[in-house]
Amino acid sequence: MDLLQGLNPQQQQAVVAGLGPVLVMAGPGSGKTRVLTHRVAYLIGQMGVRPYHILAVTFTNKAAREMDVRVTDLLGEAARGVSLGTFHAICAKILRREAEHLPFEANFVIFDSDDQEKLVKAALEDLNLDEKRFRPQAVHGSISNAKNELILPDDYKVLNYRDEVVKKVYERYQQMLLANNALDFDDLLLWTAILLEQNPIVREKYARRYEHVLVDEFQDTNMAQYLLLKHLASFHRNVFVVGDVDQAIYRWRGADYRNVLRFEEDYPDTQIILLEQNYRSTQDILNVAMAVIDKHPYRKPKKLRAQRGGGQKVFLHECYDDQAEAEFVIDTIATQVARQGAKSGDFAVMYRTNAQSRVLEEAFLHANLPYKLVGAQRFYGRREIKDVIAYLRLVHNPNDELSLTRVINMPPRGIGEKTLLAVRTEAQKANLSPGQLILALANEESPYHTLFSGRTLAALLKFSSHLAAWRAELAEAALSPLLLMDRILNDIAYRDYVDDSSEEGKDRWDNVMELRRLATEYQGQPLETFLERVALVSDQDTVESGANVPTLLTLHAAKGLEFPVVFLVGLNDGTLPHQRSFDDPEAMHEERRLLYVGITRAKDKLYMVHPQNRSQYGYAESVEPSRFLADIPDDLLDDSAPRRSSGRRRSKGADTVDEKPLAAKTGAARWSAEPAKSAPPASSTPKTGQPASGGRASSSRTSSDPVGSNHAGSSKSAGGASDTPRFPAGSKVLHPTYGEGMVLNNRLQDGDEIVDIFFEQYGMKRVLASLAKLVKQ
DNA sequence: AAGGCCCTTCTTTTT
DNA sequence: GAAGGGCCTT
């Protein structure tokens, strides 16, 4: 049969597996997307299942789209009608449809993480709790964890005072969400799970409908998602899950790879199929991957067999610091593009934290090389984009108080803090949401006019009439998202506000236009669809395949992707594994898996790069190579710069590549001359080759300082960590590199002392006492 | 009301 | 080394 052509026996077995639960354990590069798509095609084309009865869940919209395309390739029109999407999108759909059973309206908005944090803050304020003591972010984290475990405020376990606080905030937070007719990300899963759990009629409706449920990246499901699946598949029991516990990297988000074990327990009759044949990487790369993952404790051994031959050894490269890493990356790419005819789109640079992208971006800009950066936040996190979306959200749902707060005085129209507070208080008295009260003002006979006067009233009325008009047009003329956006932008003269004809102003307006372009794709679709889409974009959704330029992305965003050449940078202890994971063994294991994910993204060549020093918070600090690197046998590596450098740090002269100042320039000229194409937000950061911040103000790079900051160098003994300050302001000290200086400031942090010192010749430097070998004079 | 300046604080990963 | 909060002035 056609559908099975080109599939190996295990893949075929999975595709044609009979009814009942199926668990596919798929190593990296083993063709699991293929198996999933062929399975769907098989069910429809071969087993006569109607697409309407199939549900396929992925973790990103991109994966869903890809599946859609591939199934359509196999079946054509016959594939139409499969429920295909992310957990969050599918839940949103169900919740809107079933809103009558739920305590919110069908037109609810989805609060993003920014909104969520603001709401927690508001809840803390309401409860007179100190934000300093209870960090909104952390409190929200606890709430989020609870939700992912399906724990409601009432059931929240209180063991200490903090729990008590979280519980109270959680209660208040949920109330506020409902008052805003809003759901957060976790609510989408939580409410759907609760609905299915508690409402047998609804549950049966969906369970009967979905004859087949397929799930991708099963190892990254959390409790809520697991329960959801169980309910959705409760009637037909045809659950087909695909996953790889070695690639479980979302524990911090509530994901629990033990759902795989749970699955085996809950479905004892499950068929288990292993996909171990790897079609992606060379054997040399796989060997390194396996060396890293084999050290993972309590793990079922799984072998990866490369379909391809040996290849090139994995390169391990040590650099002086993150800047040298970036230069090494650029130099290598430029050389391979210029001399070996590589395509620049073949390269990807991966790192642990978003902050690491900055140095890379600067280096690319400096070398005049285009690049693209994966990350939805880059686009949707921008102020101008959030403004416009907030307007749309408010028009869609006037109860959305966060959006109201955001836009009511943006651009400035004379409605300040005091007025807003008055609106809130009066709205509460009238038992309205602030948005409803403002809308009511548009009516000339509104009794609320008397609440305000003079300039304030005039300003409010103007805003109110705009809002009312937009809503009316939306309702009556069924304005498309695009027309509504144009209308708003025009009415508020938003361009005048953002575009001050400076470089950044133009960038801002360009971004707005980019959002507008995205809206053109939603002609004839309800505003709701557009809003939901922009709320649920994931970083991975912004990976764009078109532009032929290198890709910069976090290791998390890299999951599921592959590139011919991969650089993993910042492989030092503290970054990968991240220091925040040090005290938690489970978190440390996840760091290891993260490295494994990174390694297995590479098809042909892999460069593992680590710095001797890293700078964060502005000052530099010497670091050790990632402890995971020690698990890789030397003979698997092309060790151009020996890594076992622990006790001794080579002086700068010993390094070869990173010595050359911007060697990239040579290759740069011959870089594929493709312009830094402006990419759609759906697919990438809007301006490839532009600094993320939009501001190039700080372009005279601090790094031109030949000495850099604190090159503390060698051993850790000298200053010694302390818990009593030893270098009070005003004291004179001697620094091994900078000489004599005067202490301006000092403070203790994490058992160490941070000292700001003024040096006659070098200016102010901030150093870590334990590293800098400071001597009191 | 609004804008500007200085201070602190922080940084994991993201649907 | 950015971003937000607090405090200042206009």
Q: Which residue is nearest to nucleotide B3 (CA to C1')?
A: A412
pLDDT band of residue A267 (cuts 50, 70, 90) is very high
Residue A570's nearest CA partner among A598, A611, A599, A600 is: A611
What counts of helices (H) and strands (E) characterise chain A?
28, 24
Lowest mean pLDDT among A44-58, A139-153, A613-627, A750-764: A750-764
Q: How far apart are CA A229 and CA A776, in angstroms?
A: 64
Q: How far apart are CA A603 and CA A588, in angstroms?
A: 26
Mean pLDDT (whole number) for A190-199 = 96
Å between A644 CA and B7 C1'?
Answer: 42
Average pLDDT, whole number, for chain A? 83
Å between A171 CA and B9 C1'?
Answer: 28
Give how far Cα A95 sits from Cα of A52, A103, A522, A538, Å. 18, 11, 21, 20
Name the nucleotide with the smallest C1'–CA separation from A618: C1
pLDDT of A596 above 80: yes
Is A176:A123 a contact under the CB 8 Å cutoff? yes
* pLDDT given at position A546: 64
Torsion angle of alpha carbons A701, A704, A709, A712, nearest 10°? 140
Residue A582's nearest CA partner among A592, A572, A574 is: A574
* pLDDT given at position A749: 61
Considering any atom of strand C, list protein residues whose CB lies within 7 Å.
A 121, 358, 617-618, 693, 698, 702
Mean pLDDT (whole number) for A399-416 = 89
Name the nucleotide with the smallest C1'–CA separation from A695: C2
Name the nucleotide with the smallest C1'–CA separation from A222: B15
Percent of chain A with pLDDT over 90: 51
| Phi, psi angle pair for A213, to nearest 5° | -120, 125
Compute and round to an integer the Cα radius of gyration of chain A. Answer: 28
Residue A243 belongs to what H/E stretch? strand A239-243
Å between A617 CA and B10 C1'?
Answer: 9
Mean pLDDT (whole number) for A223-247 = 95
Angle between helices A481-491 and A383-396 (to 10 degrees): 110
- DSSP type of residue A408: T
Name the nucleotide with the smallest C1'–CA separation from A422: B1
* Strand C contact nucleotides, protein CB < 7 Å: 1-3, 5
Å between A414 CA and B2 C1'?
Answer: 9
Å between A65 CA and B15 C1'?
Answer: 16
Mean pLDDT (whole number) for A545-557 = 86
Percent of chain A with pLDDT over 70: 85
pLDDT band of residue A771 (cuts 50, 70, 90) is low
Considering any atom of strand B, list protein residues whose CB lies within 7 Å.
A 59-60, 86-88, 112-113, 135, 137, 185-186, 249, 252-253, 352-355, 375-376, 409, 412-419, 456, 536-541, 554, 556-557, 578, 580-581, 587, 616-617
Residue A207 belongs to what H/E stretch? helix A200-209
pLDDT band of residue A665 (cuts 50, 70, 90) is very low
Is A259:A226 a contact under the CB 8 Å cutoff? yes
Q: How far apart are CA A221 and CA A250, in angstroms?
A: 8
* pLDDT given at position A113: 85
Is A224:A250 a contact under the CB 8 Å cutoff? no
Q: How far apart are CA A660 and CA A364, in angstroms?
A: 16
Mean pLDDT (whole number) for A41-53 = 94
Name the nucleotide with the smallest C1'–CA separation from A702: C1
Q: Which residues pair with A621 in a beta bridge?
A: A614
Assign residue A599 a region (left: φ > 0; alpha: ψ between -120 and 50; beta: otherwise).
Answer: alpha
pLDDT tens digits for A283-331? 999 999 999 999 888 887 778 888 887 788 999 999 998 999 999 999 9
Give catalytic residues of A, as residue numbers. Answer: 32-33, 216-217, 247, 601
pLDDT tens digits for A429-456? 899 999 999 999 988 888 888 888 778 8
* pLDDT given at position A672: 34
Mean pLDDT (whole number) for A228-234 = 95
Å between A551 CA and B4 C1'?
Answer: 38
Q: How far apart are CA A155 and CA A448, in angstroms?
A: 41
Is A362:A698 a contact under the CB 8 Å cutoff? no
Residue A363 belongs to what H/E stretch? helix A357-366
* Strand B contact nucleotides, protein CB < 7 Å: 1-3, 10-15
pLDDT of A719 above 60: no
Q: Which residues pair with A752 in a beta bridge?
A: A749
Q: How far apart are CA A284 and CA A552, in angstroms?
A: 24
* pLDDT given at position A723: 57
Is A83:A527 a contact under the CB 8 Å cutoff? no
More confident residue, A601 or A772: A601
Reading the block at residue A313, the tokens are 């050894």
Mean pLDDT (whole number) for A488-516 = 86
Mean pLDDT (whole number) for A477-484 = 88
* pLDDT given at position A396: 93
Is A146:A75 a contact under the CB 8 Å cutoff? no
pLDDT tens digits for A355-405? 899 899 889 888 888 888 887 567 888 888 889 999 999 999 999 999 999
